[in-house]
Structure 1
Amino acid sequence: MPRLPSPTAGELRRDPLPLRGRTALVTGAGRRGGIGYAVARRLAAYGAGVYLHHHVPHDAAMPWGADRPEEVVAAVRAALGEPGAPVADGPADLSDPSAREQLIATAAEALGGRLDILVANHALSGSDGTLDTVDAAMLDAHWAVDTRSVLLLAQAYARRRAATPAAGTGGRVVMMTSGQDIAGGMPEEIAYALQKGALASITRSLATALAERGVTVNTVNPGPVDTDYLTGDAYEAVAARFPAGHWGMPDDPARLVAWLATDEAAWITGQVIDSEGGFRR
């Protein structure tokens, strides 16, 4: 098999808009304090058209509260690197197994008919417990949102790509996990840790399944990120376990996710990548 030619000098120069002309769906991107929003802004700044998924009732029920979707969209649009690239948004309750086909279709149509990048960032917060307190309802709720919906979204995404003649290479799926396999685990969140662990375990299988379609699949563990969910002494205790002395911020994992979406990461697939800033567990 012949070797591919080395890149030319021109090809080695970094494109300031490496995602120009591409499109992305980012789930769980309805709150400006969250990782999904930071990812959407990065992708938009790199030139991509972006569709932001949100589920406002979930955030509204959490201590951090919900943002108004139109304000989130306006902030992402302000980051656009390619004037005129589309930015759109819409709701979906991904605990409903029928929602994923509609979400993929709606996002693709809003972005011009094609969907290149899927970032499955959404997750269920709360409704969890220790080994002593977890029950069937908690396990089922986290399975439905954290795992089943991600796999069904990947399935719907792959089908959409297969039905899009101009899709070509450059497809990307990025999933999110939570470091549940690293020392100490997550003993206070058994249901969440179990379902996020399933995504880490399926990463390589999905990468193999989608390789022939020109799609890479990777999973990112962002580590502890300041998304407004912790305050006080507990917040300071976590900060002290980073060598830099402060938490990761949403844009820290967002930079990694955005890079994985570019052609520079075309040779990286089937990986679970920790982005934890040296966090000492």
Structure 2
Amino acid sequence: MPRLPHPTPEELRRDPLPLRGRTALVTGASRRGGIGHAVARRLAAYGASVYLHHHVPHDAEQPWGADRPEDVAESVRGALGDPGARVVAGPGDLAGPDVPGELVGRAAEALGGRLDILVANHAQSGFDGALDDIDPEMLDRHWAVDTRSVILLVQAYARRRAALPPRTPGGRVVMMTSGQDMGGGMPRELAYALQKGALASVTRSLATTLAEHAVTVNTVNPGPVDTDYLTGDDYDAVAALFPAGRWGMPDDPARLIAWLATDEAEWVTGQVIDSEGGFRR
């Protein structure tokens, strides 16, 4: 049915719970200081049921450490806008080739059998270096976690969407990149930059592939975000590169990602979107 050139007054009034009845999988939500947790809270606040993926051993190896999954889930549960929505958490080492498909299946079943929103937020931290430092193991590890697992997640998600009635609304995929193609690049994190660049590059191809299922695909570059990994003079030096004089906070990209998940963003697809507060490289 053709749409009118202008929305009705009722359509202009924003639903306070625009994701009521929708379901979402957010990967990489192992700690409350991270972007994954912030995204999950926003989606929950908008009315969605959310499955939180975590891989605690990865974060436990890092200087910032990991939170207890039940604490992360409880924080997200506290933001629920719809009292009938659910928050479920589960583990998964996405370096395993079978884990992405299994995770999508678990998340969908835990949330009622359907999965509307996929936010692939996870990434391999550390275990990287400059050109003279990288080796095949580093490259393979980042490939498996940062890129291969994301494509397999999207594949499993797309197969489930294809089984729904044609043009079922609400299908959304959001991937994450890191601005590796801007300024001076990331010369000391080549394995990571390579794999994140691959996701940015494939965004439009995936958007075209999933368009027939009414699924939008976008990738977000959040820029430098304060996730508790830097302190002292280095922290202050980075803050000075933002016009606002502060780092990005996890909720900054989370607001954009949550909006992309709503019906208001149904005409935005195939885009790599920078959300980095005017950061000056």
Q: For 1:99 and 1:189, how far apart are their aligned partners in 2? A: 26
Q: Which structure 1 residue ranges, 4+ long, deviate > 3 Å from structure 2?
A: 164-167
Aligned equivalent of 1:33: 33
Aligned equivalent of 2:87: 87
Q: Quote how far apart the aligned CAs of 1:179 are.
A: 0.3
Would you say the 8 A contact 2:167–2:213 is kept in 1? no
Aligned equivalent of 1:241: 241
Q: For 1:77 and 1:117, how far apart are their aligned partners in 2? A: 18
Q: For 1:262 and 1:148, how far apart are their aligned partners in 2? A: 27
Would you say the 8 A contact 1:207–1:218 is kept in 2? yes
Would you say the 8 A contact 1:161–1:167 is kept in 2? no
Aligned equivalent of 2:20: 20
Aligned equivalent of 2:97: 97
Q: Quote how far apart the aligned CAs of 1:183 are.
A: 1.2
Aligned equivalent of 1:66: 66
Would you say the 8 A contact 1:116–1:167 is kept in 2? no
Q: For 2:109 and 2:48, how far apart are their aligned partners in 1? A: 15
Aligned equivalent of 2:175: 175
Q: 1:99 to 1:167 in 2, by over 3 A?
A: farther
Aligned equivalent of 2:107: 107
Which residue identity is paired with 1:182?
M
Q: Indicate the SS of the match to 1:212.
A: helix
Would you say the 8 A contact 1:178–1:223 is kept in 2? yes
Gaps of 5+ in 2: none
Q: Deviations 1:47-66 (Å, cap 9, x if unpaired)?
A: 00000000000000000001
Would you say the 8 A contact 2:207–2:269 is kept in 1? yes
Q: 1:63 to 1:225 in 2, by over 3 A?
A: same
Q: For 2:200 and 2:183, how far apart are their aligned partners in 1? A: 15
Aligned equivalent of 2:212: 212
Q: Indicate the SS of the match to 1:244.
A: coil
Q: Say whether 1:4 aligns with 2:8.
A: no
Q: For 2:170 and 2:69, how far apart are their aligned partners in 1? A: 29
Q: Quote how far apart the aligned CAs of 1:132 are.
A: 1.0
Q: 1:113 to 1:251 in 2, by over 3 A?
A: same
Q: For 1:29 and 1:168, how far apart are their aligned partners in 2? A: 27
Aligned equivalent of 1:161: 161
Q: Quote how far apart the aligned CAs of 1:127 are.
A: 0.5
Q: Deviations 1:82-111 (Å, cap 9, x if unpaired)?
A: 002011010000000100111001000110
Q: For 1:86 and 1:161, how far apart are their aligned partners in 2? A: 20
Q: Quote how far apart the aligned CAs of 1:3 are.
A: 5.2
Q: For 1:140 and 1:207, how far apart are their aligned partners in 2? A: 26
Q: Indicate the SS of the match to 1:180.
A: coil
Which residue identity is paired with 1:153?
L
Aligned equivalent of 1:221: 221
Q: Quote how far apart the aligned CAs of 1:4 are.
A: 2.4
Q: For 1:65 and 1:147, how far apart are their aligned partners in 2? A: 23
Superposition RMSD in Å: 1.1
Q: For 2:46 and 2:218, how far apart are their aligned partners in 1? A: 19
Q: For 1:30 and 1:63, how far apart are their aligned partners in 2? A: 14
Q: Percent identity?
A: 78
TM-score, normalising length: structure 2:
0.98
Counterparts of 1:192-203 in structure 2, within 5 Å, are: 192-203=192-203
Q: For 1:168 and 1:3, how far apart are their aligned partners in 2? A: 17
Aligned equivalent of 2:127: 127
Q: Quote how far apart the aligned CAs of 1:30 are.
A: 1.4
